[in-house]
Structure 1
Amino acid sequence: MTFSDDELDRYARHIVLPQFGGAGQQRLKSSSVLLVGAGGIGAGALPSLAGAGVGRIHIVDDDQVDVSNLARQPLYRSEDVGRSKAELAARFAAERNPHIEIVAVDQRVDEDNAENLLSGHDLVIDGSDNFRTRLIVSDMAVKLGLPLVSGAAAQFQGQAALLTGQPCYRCFVGEAFDSDDCDNCAELGVLGALTGTMGHFAAMLAIRHLAGIGPSDAGTLHLFDGVRARWKAITLVADPACRACGTPG
């Protein structure tokens, strides 16, 4: 796989990094990422993924732009209200980088389509806004052996983690949230800048993993306190009884 002159200019700041180089950029170019959710987290992650040169990005979201989204989702404009987020996000990414493949999927992830949507990718980023979708995505990522980056933000608190099997997201949240009627930012509120912070950080975790930069960060939950402007990292523990990644019997 070779780079065009435009790509060499475009990715020059990556390629000169000794920890990254041409090999890391090649790995990104050959990678396929599924982005679940084109809301606050997705709107932060997508510019970084597209700009970095991830070769193929599928964006899954069945929502339309609402005026309340505009304070924290910079992919969209006032005139986009009522239009498909997935399609608008895909257009943004394609205009940002013509060397990558972008696919918009105007669907909601559920038990029936999850395997088809996740299959064929190298990594999944989940920025969905409810536990039901998050658990469906996590369980399928475990089943398919796909690394998952999970990102979330509510009020002033953000979190992101790379999960590569054990522990999985279900180990973290347990069985208590399998419904889709849990609190989300519509009820709790969220600082607009926080969603971008966590979205870009989720993309950073994905890029590090795909390009093979640094030691593995799998199983570490990164927490950001937006009130105090402080980061904290904790190690997640695998649940042996987890019905997704645990050992049967």
Structure 2
Amino acid sequence: MDQKLSKDETARYSRQMLCPEIGKRGQLKLKSSSVLIVGAGGLGCPSSLYLTAAGIGRLGIIDSDVVETSNLHRQVLHSEGTRGAAKVDSAVERLQQLNSNVAFEKHPVRLTRANALDIIRNYDIVVDGTDNPMARYLLSDACVLLKKPLVSGSALRFEGQITVYNYDQDTPCYRCVFPEPPPAGTVTNCADGGVLGVVPGIIGNLQAIEAIKIAAGIAPAYAGVLLLYDGLSGKFRHVQLRKRKDDCISCGKTPSITTDLIDYEAFCGVTCAPPVKILAPEERVTVQEYSSVLQSKQKHILIDVRPQLQQDIIKLDNAVSIPLARIVKEDGVQMVQDLIDKTFTEPSEPKKVFVMCRRGNASQKATRELKNRLEEENVEIKDIIGGIEQWSTDVDPELPMY
């Protein structure tokens, strides 16, 4: 180790070098190490912030998204002034202000099986700040192939977790713990399930500690151990994970993933968010067409089938709340029938019902359910394409979205 600390670096890192576990030798190891942050979001922001402050030598950030207003409550590197900017640009601009001694590398792309190995091989440690199974399997397999430790974290609502995969010959990889992916559509991310902003902050900081320890030559606390955090109860729990599985297809004794990465969308049974197609085109209307119905004051019923929690945030003034779950399993169909009977009192008048959700998927399911089960005849039921998000984009840009 032939690197030296400058006068500025010595002063900057003096407090942590006073920790006997770090010292000057550990600080020099940090300076000579590199970390890749995958995702400049709720986990990647706090972890990269403290890795930069700690003096990691080289920090890479990979993210293909841009900064949005909904990011700002948890993605603390970004600001109101960087909305619309690439997240890697926003993050690095802030981090450079914190520590100019660190070399930053920006990767404004989505991590795929085509580029993962080429990007990851240039770093010593990988910090996973993603939020979907495809990315987790991809990162784990790539880190096993390249022999890189993977510091994995996740956060949802009030809960978070962290573990370190592939640290040594005993530490399991992600596939050892989850050999089969969850059924498609069953994994909730924070965009749909919500997250309290401070929770990914807590987990991201723990990820930074683990990465700093690995870089400084200190064994991580969570290699082979899963830490579970419950923000509501304030409790931490530790779960001991099993050691590597001999039959793991990635890190086992006779792995089948040996040179090339696999098709992770096919493995997880999903594609890149295709739109749901349940209804025929004539059973749907655009937001512009529904806007014309409103403006012409045609008598109709608008049903919002989003969960009540989402409707409490924002909904159209004339919408009636009947969540999809009630239509499918409870008394929702009867509620719609009662609305029709109350609204359309003349036998000959046209009976129009429109169904809205967040993005136009749940509304299709609700529309089909109503068409199949309503006893009312001569009623026209259509869903609104794109839901309230499309309404906000094309009809009422002042409508706040979540």
In 1, distance between residues paired with 2:135 and 2:161?
17
In 1, distance between residues paired with 2:183 and 2:102?
35
Change (3 A) 1:179 1:142: farther
8 Å contact 1:155–1:190 — kept in the other structure? Answer: yes
Q: Kindly report which structure 2 residues correspond to 1:187-198, keeping only aligned pairs within 5 A, or say none.
A: 187-198=192-203
Give per-residue Cα distances to partners, 1:67-117, cap 9 Å, x unaligned: 111111111111222110011111111111011100111011111001001
| CA drift at 1:120 | 1.9
8 Å contact 1:131–1:179 — kept in the other structure? Answer: no
| CA drift at 1:37 | 0.4
Give per-residue Cα distances to partners, 1:28-84, cap 9 Å, x unaligned: 000011110000000110110000000000000001111111111111111222110
Q: Does 1:227 align with 2:229?
A: no
Give per-residue Cα distances to partners, 1:175-203, cap 9 Å, x unaligned: 21496984211111111000100001100
In 2, distance between residues paired with 1:178 and 1:132?
12
Change (3 A) 1:132 1:170: same
Partner of 2:134: 132
What is the identity, as a one-letter code, of the residue corresponding to 1:61? D
Give per-residue Cα distances to partners, 1:113-159, cap 9 Å, x unaligned: 01001002110001011110111011000011001100110111101
8 Å contact 1:149–1:160 — kept in the other structure? Answer: yes
Change (3 A) 1:179 1:100: farther
Partner of 1:247: 253
What is the identity, as a one-letter code, of the residue corresponding to 1:127? G
What is the identity, as a one-letter code, of the residue corresponding to 2:237? K
Q: Kindly report which structure 2 residues correspond to 1:79-98, keeping only aligned pairs within 5 A, or say none.
A: 79-98=81-100
8 Å contact 2:213–2:220 — kept in the other structure? Answer: no
In 1, distance between residues paired with 2:179 and 2:80?
39
Partner of 1:100: 102
Partner of 1:61: 63
Q: Kindly report which structure 2 residues correspond to 1:28-67, keeping only aligned pairs within 5 A, or say none.
A: 28-67=30-69
Change (3 A) 1:107 1:157: same
Q: Which range moves more in the overlay, 58-67 or 228-237?
A: 228-237
8 Å contact 2:133–2:181 — kept in the other structure? Answer: no
Q: Does 1:213 align with 2:215?
A: no
Change (3 A) 1:42 1:178: farther
In 1, distance between residues paired with 2:87 and 2:185?
20
Partner of 1:71: 73
Partner of 1:199: 204
Partner of 1:12: 14
8 Å contact 1:131–1:180 — kept in the other structure? Answer: no
Give per-residue Cα distances to partners, 1:182-241, cap 9 Å, x unaligned: 421111111100010000110001111111235764211111111111111112113332
What is the identity, as a one-letter code, of the residue corresponding to 1:246? G
In 2, distance between residues paired with 1:117 and 1:180?
29
What is the identity, as a one-letter code, of the residue corresponding to 1:244? S
What is the identity, as a one-letter code, of the residue corresponding to 2:251? C
In 2, distance between residues paired with 1:216 and 1:71?
29
Match of 1:184 among 176, 182, 189: 189
CA RMSD of aligned residues (A): 1.7
In 2, distance between residues paired with 1:96 and 1:19?
24
Q: Kindly report which structure 2 residues correspond to 1:92-171, keeping only aligned pairs within 5 A, or say none.
A: 92-163=94-165, 164=167, 166-171=171-176
What is the identity, as a one-letter code, of the residue corresponding to 2:85? R
SS across alignment from 1:71:
coil
Percent identity, aligned pairs only, is 39
SS across alignment from 1:246:
coil
8 Å contact 1:133–1:180 — kept in the other structure? Answer: no
In 2, distance between residues paired with 1:63 and 1:110?
14
Q: Which range moves more in the overlay, 22-31 or 205-214?
A: 205-214
8 Å contact 1:31–1:54 — kept in the other structure? Answer: yes
What is the identity, as a one-letter code, of the residue corresponding to 1:226? G
TM-score (norm 1): 0.95
What is the identity, as a one-letter code, of the residue corresponding to 1:45? S
In 2, distance between residues paired with 1:19 and 1:95?
28
In 2, distance between residues paired with 1:129 and 1:153?
8
Q: Which range moves more in the overlay, 122-131 or 158-167?
A: 158-167
Partner of 2:345: none
TM-score (norm 2): 0.60
